[in-house]
Amino acid sequence: MVRIEVIHLTSDTPLGYHGGMEHTHHNQRLIKRLKIIEGQVRGLQKMIEDGTYCVDIITQSLAVKQALSGVEDAVLEGHLSSHVVEQMRSGKHEKAIGEIMKLYKLSKKK
């Protein structure tokens, strides 16, 4: 059984940024994409329960990974174009660079 854990983030990040994503049309699109991914994950669970052919399960799993990667890219783009720009303008260069480096290092662990 596939278990999805939902993590509720506060507006205070580990790196000390206060605030979050603004509620925009962009976020509504991301939520729609995540709901589609949620359906894909449920489909994967059903495929496993039904004993679906392994290659078909892996193909669907790869599609889910690609979809999640697209969500990550969109969130990162939004962060870079808003929060990081604001940090740079307000003289918080080290903080902005630290966040970017943290994400870069996390992405290398894949």
pLDDT at residue 108, as a whole number = 86
Which structural domain, as residue segments, surrounds residue 91?
26-108
Residue 55 CA: distances (Å) to CA of 49, 64, 71, 103: 15, 14, 25, 31
Q: What CATH number does residue 39 fall under?
A: 1.20.58.1000
Please tell me the pTM assigned to this model.
0.68
Q: How many helices (H) and strands (E) does the chain have?
A: 4, 0
pLDDT at residue 21, as a whole number = 52
- Beta-bridged to residue 18, according to DSSP, are 12
| Residues 6 or more apart whose Cβ sits within 8 Å of residue 94 | none
Asked whether residue 43 is assigned to any structural domain, the reply reads: yes
pLDDT at residue 104, as a whole number = 87
Over its length of 110 residues, how does the chain's per-residue pLDDT go in tens digits?
A: 444 444 434 344 444 444 455 557 888 999 999 999 999 999 999 999 999 999 999 999 999 999 999 999 999 999 889 889 999 899 998 999 999 999 889 888 86
**Cα gap 89→91, rounded to integer Å:** 6
Q: How many domains does the structure of the chain reveal?
A: 1
